[in-house]
């Protein structure tokens, strides 16, 4: 594969849930690209579709959800959505690693962490049973778990939150994947442990030359670790571009509102907040989904969802303010 060709290219990915209240579009024509060695930060409020986008890429959405669109091109394959399930299972875990946001539900409470890491190696044929123990110790050492030989026999409940997250990282990296998807990897961890986990992910990315899709609602995490950022709102990517450019000069009113809400103004000043609430995905407005909350809205915004406008080198924003 050419070094300039994206490792992952997603085009018009859509996931719809049929509910009693109507059809809810959780992922709405999402397109993104990611290259080897690059970190893309996928950021937005809770419920914006970030995690569902990752699950859709991996074809892990369960009924009543339906994923279509595409193609999803990965490592030279034409479309992951068209692969037989058996072939897709071979990709999950081996070529695409996934770090779930809640380790206590992602880890099996009745198996030791040593067995769970070894299982990832055995299932994908990356080690024999005789080799699995040594490789598991190597992985625990790599994710900085002290005394890994003793920890092999521990169960998830015997570990701290930070250590459980390190175990998930070890499992995700066991087969040396090309792409790592980290879904809110620092949720529910204290600030010090958050920094350690993020530094560990950065170290592993550099060591293995991974592509990293970092899903988070924390703009500080994106600012410190992402090369590019994609901002989601109501299932749509509303702005995308190099991290520094987007943070210094946001082009979409929603991105502007998110950045303005970060604490750091003069003491005694009230925090800025985006007015209104996130819309019901089954009852989105006919135009821009952000239009009811947007301080810069005008008549055109309520007619149809805006297309992606070019707003700079490698940048795009779905906002009629940029219609020429």
Look at the domain 8-95+179-186+209-322 and name its fold.
Rossmann fold (3.40.50)
Each residue's pLDDT tens digit, 223-263: 999 999 999 999 999 999 999 999 999 999 999 999 988 87
Q: Where would I find the H helices in 71-228?
A: 85-91, 103-106, 113-123, 129-142, 148-151, 161-173, 191-208, 219-225
Examine the pLDDT at 268 and tell me if it is beyond 50.
yes
- Token readout for 267 is 């003491």
Q: Given this model, what pLDDT does residue 1 score?
A: 46
- Token readout for 192 is 């010090």
pLDDT band at residue 21, thresholds of 50, 70 and 90? confident
Q: Are 113 and 152 in contact (CB under 8 A)?
A: yes
Peptide bond just before 113 cis, omega within 30 deg: no
Q: Are 281 and 26 in contact (CB under 8 A)?
A: yes
Q: Given this model, what pLDDT does residue 57 score?
A: 97
Q: Could you tell me the residue ranges of all domains in the chain?
A: 8-95+179-186+209-322, 100-174
Q: Which residues contact 69 (CB under 8 A, 6 or more apart)?
A: 11, 12, 13, 14, 29, 81
pLDDT band at residue 3, thresholds of 50, 70 and 90? low
Task: Name the pTM for this structure.
Answer: 0.93
Q: Where would I find the H helices in 143-252?
A: 148-151, 161-173, 191-208, 219-225, 243-248
Q: Which residues contact 81 (CB under 8 A, 6 or more apart)?
A: 59, 67, 68, 69, 70, 71, 72
Share of the chain above pLDDT 70, in %: 98
What secondary structure letter does DSSP report for 51? H
CA distances from 237 to 101, 229, 232, 306 (A): 21, 10, 4, 11
Q: Given this model, what pLDDT does residue 2 score?
A: 44
């Amino acid at each position: 594969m050419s070094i300039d060709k994206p490792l992952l290219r997603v085009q018009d990915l859509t996931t719809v849930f049929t509910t009693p209240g109507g059809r809810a579009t959780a992922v709405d024509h999402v397109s993104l690209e990611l290259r080897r060695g690059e970190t893309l930060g996928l950021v937005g409020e809770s419920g914006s579709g970030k995690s569902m986008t990752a699950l859709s890429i991996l074809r892990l959405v369960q009924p009543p959800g339906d994923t279509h669109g595409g193609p999803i091109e990965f490592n030279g394959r034409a479309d992951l959505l068209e692969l037989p399930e058996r072939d897709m299972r071979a990709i999950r875990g081996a070529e695409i690693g996934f770090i779930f946001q809640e380790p206590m539900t992602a880890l099996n409470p009745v198996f030791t962490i040593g067995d769970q890491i070894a299982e990832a190696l055995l299932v994908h044929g990356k080690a024999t049973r005789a080799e699995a123990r040594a490789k598991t110790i190597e992985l625990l050492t790599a994710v900085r778990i002290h005394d890994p030989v003793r920890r092999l026999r521990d169960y998830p409940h015997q570990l701290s939150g930070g250590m459980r997250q390190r175990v998930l990282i070890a499992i995700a990296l066991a087969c040396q994947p090309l792409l790592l998807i980290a879904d809110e990897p620092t949720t529910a961890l204290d600030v010090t442990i958050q920094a350690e986990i993020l530094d560990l992910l950065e170290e592993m990315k550099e060591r293995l030359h991974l592509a990293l899709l970092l899903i988070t609602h924390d703009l500080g995490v994106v600012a410190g670790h992402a090369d590019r950022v994609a901002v989601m709102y109501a299932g749509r990517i509303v702005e995308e571009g190099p991290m520094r450019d987007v943070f210094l000069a946001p082009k979409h009113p929603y991105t502007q509102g998110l950045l303005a809400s970060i604490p750091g103004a003069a003491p005694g000043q009230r925090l800025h907040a985006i007015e209104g609430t996130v819309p019901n995905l089954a009852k989105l407005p006919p135009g821009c989904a952000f239009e009811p909350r947007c301080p810069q809205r005008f008549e055109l915004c309520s007619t149809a969802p805006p297309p992606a406008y070019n707003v700079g080198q490698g940048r795009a924003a779905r906002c009629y303010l940029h219609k020429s």
